[in-house]
Structures are given as structure tokens and as C-alpha cells.
Amino acid sequence: MSIKENQDSIRVRFAPSPTGYVHIGSLRTALFNYLFAKHSGGKNILRIEDTDQTRKVEGAVENLIKVMGSLGIEFDEGPIQGGNYGPYYQSQRLEIYRKYCDELINNGAAYYAFETPEELDEMRRLQQLEGRQTMYDGRARNLSEDEVRDKLQKGMPHVIRLKVPADREIRFTDAIKGVIKINSNLIDDQILLKSDGFPTYHLANVVDDHLMNITHIIRGEEWITSVPKHILIYEALGWHAPEMAHVPLILNKDKSKLSKRQGDVAVEDYLKKGYLKEALINFISLLGWNPGEGEENEFYSLDELCKIFTLEKVQTSGAVFNPEKLNWMNNYYIKNYDIDRLIELSLPYFKNSGISSSDDIKKILSAIRVYLNKLEEIPIHLKIFIQEDITPEPASLKDLLENDDSKKIFSALKSKIEKLDFVNAENYKQAVSEVQKETGVKGKNLFKPLRIALTGSENGPELPLIAEILGKEKILKFLGKWI
């Protein structure tokens, strides 16, 4: 397999049909294109495939560009950046498609068809009845030139179809999947231009990939069945098809195709929940790609990925999307993130807590970040810092607070804390170790009741840190409750 990665004129494109949100699969395609372009010093192009007017969603393109930008995926050419190959919206290129469609008609590779939707339905119904494959039967191929001219003059609605040759083996080599062959008899006479004058995906995609000098097409495997039709169009126009690389499907854990039903598929939802962009990018990069056999490190920054990404290491079989792995990876990034940047990202989750001093936020975040799979979990962990009264949970923990040893340590600690001007982690620890000496209660018997008395729970961040944030007054109040 030869992938011309070092050629300076490498040009790849991400060609979404914006539908309102960015699907995880789209992000993976965009990312692989970006990484491939960066790795090879090539250009990454954004082209908006918006020829299906029924699927148009207001603001979808702006949203897409924003999401990509916020994740660090940049484009060298596109609707915002411009470039020498624009316009980059297909809806602004209709005349171009029309021109190539005419060329296809003139050289006999395409033809006009005038069937009404009812006629086509009837055709399919009969094919089904006869147990045949339902596909357009090519009936308009038989119209004479005069008949066509006549119908056009009458203004009859029409489409333009690709004249797929009979009995040909169409072959191509996919950089990931290898050699693919298909008999042309299985291919429909694909509509190229619709009755509303808009091109179909197939025509627009081929024309643009050629005119935009795209050298490599990297996209999801679901598009592989379109390639034979595209090859016929390239041939009929006398063009070379770019290299193709179809990346494996993203699957749910049960191996079904990643779907909304089983969890979030919109990248925006992950960002909203507080998945860090570095974690998302890292996780998505591993969906169908791996750094190489024997390589155990799974943590890569976007820059590192740009250096090591190659198509050779894209796998052929489906890639399972494992939300637990994403959580694990996000937790790793949260734990290791620059604390000041983490604070910035976390502020929205502190909003309704009443905790506003940046000092407190920093201390709390440092204490709880090891527990966070995503930032939206922050409020759950804030409870212990903002509660005004302690109700042990589960309620059975209360017994432990009411035994004699516990009462003894609470009283001893209370009188030590009363003498302090303020509490910090250090002097709290010191006070507790003095209590241990004085009372003889130690280990679990000492620490567990203290934790429950101060937080209501058996586990959580380090107690001296919590004590520092609670402050003298609250500690006294909480200990006092059980004495």
C-alpha cells in the first residue's frame, strides 16, 4: 500500500452536511483529516455539503465551525478562511455542477429521465412483487433525442441520471480496506441532478473533490458503497479519483452502530458535561486508530497526534465507543490539568454553591478533582463544603458518632480548635495527633468518626483539607452536635 504522505501538495477535506449538531463520528472524520494534513504538511479544507435543502438547519454551519475551533481542529481553507478553490458551500456552486452534468450528457455518460414519483413507485412495486432487486430500470435511456427535446421544451420535471455500464467489474484500492470490487449490474443509474436543479451528493462530491484538488478522501466506512458510482463519474469526466481511505464504523458496546438511543452522540453534549477538549480529542483519536503494536501509552496531545498519525495504523474493523474509557481518560486529564485552567473551566459549576472566593475554589478543586469523571459532577462534591448541618449518610453511621470513644475525641478536638485563631490543614493535623496522644484512640477509631462528624460521609477528600475549607466555626459546630 503506498500512501503518498510526503508529497507537499496533499489536500484533504472534511465535507459535512450540517444537521444541527456535530456527531461523534463527524468529529472523528474531521480529526483524522486534520491529523493527516498536519502530519504530511498538507492542507485541510472544510467544505459544506448543503445541497439537500430539506435538511437545512439554521445556524448549523456556525455551530460546526465553533465546535471544531474549540477542539483545536483548524482549516486552511473553508467558508470562514476562504481560499483559491471556493466557494466552499456547495449550495453556492450550482452552476458548476450543472456544467459538468451537461458534459456528462454530451459524452453519453448521463441522461435525462422524466418519470413522476408515482411511476417510480409503481416500478418498484412490480419489482418487489417479482422478487427482484428494486432499482431504477433505466427506462429513460431509450428516449430518442427528439423525445427528450420535446419534453424539455414542454418544461416537464426531470432528473439527470448516470448511465451505469452493464457487466463491468469496478475495482479500487482503499488505503485502509484494501482492494474492493463490485459488479456494475448492482449499481443503480444514480440521480446526479435532482428536479429542483440541485446536484445529489454523488455529483457534487466528485466534482468538488476534483476541482478542489483533493488528493486523499478520508471519511467513514458508510460511504464506501458510493465509491463505484463516483469512479464511474470520474472516468466519464476523464479525471483521476483521489486516494480513498474509509475509516471503520464507530460501534456501541453491543457492536451496533453508534446511535443516539444508547447515549450521547453530539459532541456539544460532551463539552457541556465538562469533558475536557484534550480528553475528547485523545479519546476520539483512538477510535479506529492506534499508535502501533506494543505501544502502551494511550495519552496523546493534539500536537503529538499530528506527529505520529498515519493511515497505516488505522484499523479495518469497527471501533467500539466505550463511555467508561472516556470517563477514565477525562478523569486522568482533570487530575493532571493546570489548576488555574481547570478553575476557569470549572467556575460555572460553582455558580449556585455560594462558594465564590478564588482561594476556596482552588482548594476545593484541588481536593476533589481526583474524583471527577467530568466537570458537571463538581456540585455533587461541593455538598460537604457548603452544608450547615451534618446528617450522616447512611443513617446507621450515626451510632459510631454516639459511642464513648467518639465523644471523647470530639470534646478533645473541640477544645484544641477553640484555642486556634483559624484552622488550616497543618494545625488541624497537629491538633488531631495531640488528641490521639491524649485519648489513646487511634487509627480507624479516630479518623472515621471525625470524618463522619465533619462531612456526614465515610469517604471523600483528605480531611485536613476539608477542615481548612470548613473553617473554625463550622468545625466547632459540627463537633458540638455529638458531644
**Contact in structure between 77 and 213 (CB atoms under 8 Å):** no
Q: Is residue 219 part of the contact set for ligand GLU (CB under 6 A)?
A: yes
- Closest CB to ligand GLU among 83 and 379? 83
Nearer to ligand GLU, 39 or 246 (CB): 246
Grid cell 464511474 is found at 232
Site for ligand GLU in 385-424 (CB under 6 A): none
Span of 11-19, 38-46, 164-172, 456-464 interacting with ligand GLU by CB under 6 A: 11-19
Distance of CA 342 to the CA centre of its chain: 21
Min separation Cβ 15 and ligand GLU, Å: 4
- Which one of the listed residues 154, 255, 260, 419 is annotated catalytic? 260
**Choice between 158 and 246, CB closer to ligand GLU:** 246
Q: Cα–Cα distance between 417 and 427 in angstroms, integer?
A: 9
Cα–Cα distance list, 196 to 51, 160, 200, 376 (Å): 10, 11, 10, 46
For position 228 contacting ligand GLU by CB under 6 A, the verdict is no
Stretch that binds ligand GLU, among 12-20, 131-139, 398-406, 410-418 (CB under 6 A): 12-20
Scanning 10-18, 65-73, 185-193, 389-397 for contacts with ligand GLU by CB under 6 A, the matching segment is 10-18
| Torsions phi, psi for 179 (to 5 deg) | -75, 135
To ligand GLU, the closest distance from the beta carbon of 188 in angstroms equals 18
- How near is the Cβ of 223 to ligand GLU at its closest, in Å? 5
Those residues whose C-beta lies under 8 Å from the C-beta of residue 371, and which sit 6 or more positions away, are: 377, 381, 461
Closest approach of ligand GLU to the CB of residue 25, in Å:
9
> Least separation, in Å, of the C-beta of 103 and ligand GLU?
21
State the virtual CA torsion across 424, 425, 427, 430 in degrees, nearest 10. 170
Q: Can residue 15 be called a binding residue for ligand GLU (CB under 6 A)?
A: yes
The distance of closest approach from Cβ of residue 376 to ligand GLU in the complex, given in angstroms and rounded to an integer, is: 29
- Closest to 135 in 3D by CA, of 108, 162, 156: 162
* Residue 172 neighbours by CB under 8 Å, 6+ apart: 179, 180, 227, 228, 231, 241, 244
The smaller minimum CB distance to ligand GLU, of residues 190 and 205, is found at 205
Q: Which of residues 46-105 bind ligand GLU (CB under 6 A)?
A: 49
Q: Is 58 exposed, middle or buried (0-12, 13-18, 19+ CB in 10 A)?
A: exposed
16 interacts with ligand GLU by CB under 6 A: yes
The pair phi, psi for residue 474, each rounded to 5°, is -65, -40
Query: Which span sits near ligand GLU by CB under 6 A: 9-17, 72-80, 384-392, 475-483?
Result: 9-17
Site string for ligand GLU, 141-180 (x = CB under 6 A): ----------------------------------------
Close Cβ partners of 419 (under 8 Å, ≥ 6 residues apart) = none
Question: Do 353 and 381 touch, CB atoms closer than 8 A?
Answer: no
Question: Among 33, 62, 394, which residue's Cα sits nearest to residue 214?
Answer: 33
DSSP-assigned letters across all residues of 380-407: HHHHHHH-SS---SSGGGHHHHTSHHHH
Total residues interacting with ligand GLU, rule: CB under 6 A: 8
Q: Which stretch binds ligand GLU (CB under 6 A): 15-23, 121-129, 282-290, 413-421?
A: 15-23
CB of 225 to ligand GLU, least distance (A): 12
Per the annotation, the verdict on 444 as an active-site residue is no
Closer by beta carbon to ligand GLU, 205 or else 330: 205
CA 266, CA 481: separation in Å to the nearest integer?
A: 48
Nearer to ligand GLU by C-beta: 49 or 77? 49
- Work out which of 89, 223, 328, 371 binds ligand GLU, going by CB under 6 A: 223
Nearer to ligand GLU, 201 or 283 (CB): 201
Which region among 14-22, 183-191, 379-387, 434-442 touches ligand GLU (by CB under 6 A)? 14-22
Q: How far is the CB of 226 from ligand GLU (least distance, A)?
A: 7
Closest among 236, 239, 273 to 348, alpha carbons compared: 273
Q: Which of 265, 292, 381 shows the shortest CA–CA distance to 334?
A: 381
- Considering the complex, what minimum distance in angstroms separates the CB of residue 228 from ligand GLU? 14
CA–CA separation, 345 and 367 (whole Å): 16
Greatest Cα-to-Cα distance within the chain, rounded to the nearest angstrom = 110
> For residues 162 and 263, what is the distance between their CA atoms, to the nearest angstrom?
39
- Residue 15 or 452: the one with the smaller Cβ distance to ligand GLU is 15
> Which residues would be at the binding site for ligand GLU (CB under 6 A)?
15-17, 49, 201, 205, 219, 223
Residues with catalytic annotation? Answer: 260
